[in-house]
Structure 1
Amino acid sequence: MKKWMWLRNNAELEKNFLLHTENIKQAGIDAILFSGSIEAIEKLIPITQKLKIELHIWSITGICSDPEIIKNHPDWFMLNRNGESCLQNPPYVDYYKWLCPSKLEVKKYLTERIVKLCSYPEIAGIHLDYIRYPDVILPVAIQPEYNLHQTHEEPQFDYCYCPECRQQFSAKTGIDPLDLQSPSTHTNWLKFRYDNITNLVNSLAKIVRPKLFSAAVFPTPKIAKELVRQDWTAWDIDAIFPMIYHKFYDENIEWIKTATKIDVQKLSSKTKLIPGLFLPHLTPDELPIAMQKAMESGANSIAFFDYDAEKIMKHPF
């Protein structure tokens, strides 16, 4: 069984990439999904080559923290149903600054980033994350952290109603989405946003291949659509990493098996299913049980979120 791990760059990691990558190798990990700057990627490439670990780039796609973009292109960011920009009023957390996939300039910007990453022959693949809309409803167990009890869609969390989204939807349907009495149940308005993400993903697929093209997604197709407008069963993609983080949904370990079975049934046979397990929610004794439940339900391999230098040697990968 192939084992994957998400790896976020930080100052401590970058001080000794070799040591941390050796830790990952010794723990039985075969492939890294790495998020970091171009400079960090260039430092990591020869190390992963030496240790024979696959290197995939973990690309934070929908969220933008680029100071140049924030300063020069505030109009690229999503607006909620109240007309508030997530740049000035981000929902939930300060880093929730989301680019709108309706805008041609945004598509060009994201495409150019992926083209740059694909120029490195040593990189085995590109892994998209935050390839979605902001959570219109948070996972149930996370809501109390924000003093929320979300039972229905609310306008401050419902995106995007920027001029481009409104114009494009109106051109298709003759309807301004701001005029909808019940946007949460309007099939065409929901589909417009599903398709916005799907079309972006499918356009990037042409650039990434023949490298492996993958993405981290919400745990099941139904949850993904309802919470973040993500219709990932429609994507032209090589591997899907559903984040089956059971405790976020007030579920037990058995739910890993249930969710994996649902995903296998819904996903095209040509696409690999690689469930993501959330290590902070699993004890060393529970981890092999969680892995077994995913694999016996049809998973192709397993991914772990995420690297922790102190804990990695304690987990029996």
Structure 2
Amino acid sequence: MTIFKKLISALFVGTLVLMSACQPAKETSTAKHYVWMGEGKNEGTAELEKMFIKLKETGFDGVMYQTTLEKYAAAVELAHKHGLELHAWQTILRRYDDKLLSEHADWYTVSRDGRSTAEHQPFVDYYKWLCPTKPEVRAYLTKLVEDLAVVPDIDGVHLDYIRHSDVILARDLWDVYGLVMDKEYAEFDFCYCDDCIERYKKETGEDASAFGDAAPDNDKWRQFRYDMVTETVAQLSKAVHAKGNKINAAVFPTPTISKKLVRQEWDKWGIDAYYPMNYQSFYREDINWIEACCVEGVAAINERVPLYSGLYMPAFDTPKDFQLGIQASKRGGASGICIFTPYELNDEHWAILKEEIDKW
């Protein structure tokens, strides 16, 4: 090789090294596995510790745990004692606190036919929803997640029900409520409160209160509702990150489904992990559908952060079906699974979990 060729070769190699050094390092993906659980059957410390021990022995990494603010510190200490993460799992926009209702009924969402969820709930009586557009609601929720984020040693804040009420229910639930939800009906279409109407009009010049039955065909109005939830998540994420903690969320199966059913455009959020609820029975789908959901979700977030496939125990007729659901999640590119809930597991389920987690 001539001196000139050697010089060119050296320059080329040096350039590649420099380019490589300038690229952000891609975080190594390590599988993790979680459960959603509350106090439930484990109200006593001894029962809770027994469950934590069982989870760790099986290979789980943590729990999305639902309890009251004052009980989290003790639960975190117990989880950490047995090598488990503990994230504070809380409902966010669905809030039915009596004090909140009595003092701030005007914070609640209003349907297209003019009824507030503070007084008239769709589907079930606990479907009382705060409006994500209202600055007062965002301030209230910011304080809520900040208080959770500073619980000593807690591993993260886990958002649930961070969406609007279902404008269309998952297919298997239509029969439960005796409904045919083949389009967006006025009584289930949210939110048309004064704050939403005023802000949308300011931004677009359009009066959403005048849309009537044409509202579902207005793409800008639909996007506005997505954006209000996304803005709220952004504010909560900023608050939790400012406290030095992590934030993640339970979401509907895919961005496509979540936008259509509950105004939730979760692939646009800046959170630390996603836990899509891939509950195939709700959608009258087979187990392979779980894989497809994971594929879409992972692609939608461009592998920025982990996605953990949520599995619903009553959706599996047999332990073998449950095993196939775990395997479908892995094939779909999920970073692990999250089980709802460990209380439904029998000895065969536990054995399957141990086997599948060990070889993930």
TM range (shorter): over 0.9
Aligned to 1:201: 233
1:246 to 1:309, Cα distance in 2 relative to 1, 3 A:
closer
Larger helix percent: 2
- Paired AA for residue 237 in structure 1: I
SS for the counterpart of 2:63 is strand
Q: 1:188 is matched with which residue: 220, 224, 238?
A: 220
1:64 to 1:172, Cα distance in 2 relative to 1, 3 A:
same
Aligned to 1:270: 304
1:14 equivalent in alignment to 2:43: yes
Answer whether contact 1:14 1:40 (CA < 8 A) is retained: no
Equivalence map 1:107-186=2 (5 Å):
107-181=138-212, 182-186=214-218
CA distance in structure 1 between the aligned counterparts of 2:223 and 2:345, rounded to whole angstroms: 44
- Between 1:280-289 and 1:111-120, the stretch displaced more is 280-289
Aligned to 1:29: 60
1:126 to 1:313, Cα distance in 2 relative to 1, 3 A:
farther
SS for the counterpart of 2:234 is helix
- Paired AA for residue 168 in structure 1: R
SS for the counterpart of 1:252 is coil
CA distance in structure 1 between the aligned counterparts of 2:300 and 2:184, rounded to whole angstroms: 25
Aligned to 1:68: 99
CA distance in structure 2 between the aligned counterparts of 1:72 and 1:261, rounded to whole angstroms: 44
Answer whether contact 1:216 1:240 (CA < 8 A) is retained: yes
CA distance in structure 2 between the aligned counterparts of 1:126 and 1:246, rounded to whole angstroms: 26
1:68 to 1:259, Cα distance in 2 relative to 1, 3 A:
same
CA distance in structure 1 between the aligned counterparts of 2:347 and 2:185, rounded to whole angstroms: 40
Answer whether contact 1:34 1:58 (CA < 8 A) is retained: yes
1:216 to 1:310, Cα distance in 2 relative to 1, 3 A:
closer
Aligned to 2:278: 244
Which segments of 5 or more consecutive residues in structure 2 lack a partner in the other structure?
1-30, 354-360
SS for the counterpart of 1:146 is coil
- Paired AA for residue 187 in structure 1: D
- State the Cα deviation string for residues 288-308 of structure 1 (Å, max 9, x = none): 221111112211111111131
Which segments of 5 or more consecutive residues in structure 1 lack a partner in the other structure?
none
**TM superposition shift of 1:267:** 1.4
Query: How many pairs are equivalent?
Result: 316
1:49 equivalent in alignment to 2:83: no
Aligned to 2:320: 285
Aligned to 2:330: 295
- State the Cα deviation string for residues 116-140 of structure 1 (Å, max 9, x = none): 0111231111111100000000000
- Paired AA for residue 39 in structure 1: E
- Paired AA for residue 308 in structure 2: I
- Paired AA for residue 35 in structure 2: M
**TM superposition shift of 1:65:** 2.0
Stretches of 4+ aligned residues off by more than 4 angstroms? none
Answer whether contact 1:64 1:97 (CA < 8 A) is retained: yes
- Paired AA for residue 195 in structure 1: D
Aligned to 1:39: 70
Rg larger in structure: 2
SS for the counterpart of 2:342 is coil
Aligned to 1:3: 33
SS for the counterpart of 2:228 is helix
CA distance in structure 1 between the aligned counterparts of 2:139 and 2:119, rounded to whole angstroms: 23
Calculate the TM-score normalised by the size of structure 1: 0.95
Percent identity, aligned pairs only, is 35
Aligned to 2:11: none
1:261 equivalent in alignment to 2:295: yes
**TM superposition shift of 1:222:** 0.9
CA distance in structure 2 between the aligned counterparts of 1:312 and 1:164, rounded to whole angstroms: 52
